[in-house]
Amino acid sequence: MPTTRPLSGFESIEDPRRNNHCHQLGDILFIACCAVICGAESWNDIELYGQSKFDWLKHLLELPHGVPSDDTYR
């Protein structure tokens, strides 16, 4: 069975942020999408989802600076 990387759908999205960011756009989008699918309704909910699923996420994503904060999503 072929495997698909979880971020393959986000790779073509151009990152509009300046070069002073510490979180990869694909990581941010993947966590946000998963969190919303699981019922997150606010920026804080998305951050809490990322924190609660960190052990799982770190196997799928790079997360060089840990889970993004709610301010990053905002």
Say how many domains are in the chain.
1
**Domain-embedded: residue 12:** no
**Does residue 9 form part of some domain?**
no
pLDDT (mean) for 40-56: 97
Span 1-27, mean pLDDT? 76
Q: What pLDDT does 14 receive? A: 86
Q: What is the mean pLDDT of residues 20-33?
A: 90
**Could you tell me if residue 68 is inside a domain?**
yes
Domain range holding 36? 25-73
Q: Assess if residue 34 is contained within a domain.
A: yes
Per-residue b/e over 17-40, b at no fewer than 16 CB within 10 Å? eeeeeebbbbbbebbbebbeeeeb
Structural domain includes residue 58: yes
In a domain, 6, yes or no: no
Does 45 fall in a domain?
Answer: yes
Residue 8 lies in a domain: no
User: Quick check: 22 and 64 in contact, CB under 8 A?
Assistant: yes
The sign of the torsion formed by the CA atoms of 12, 9, 62, 30 equals positive
Query: Which one-letter DSSP state was computed for residue 68?
Result: P
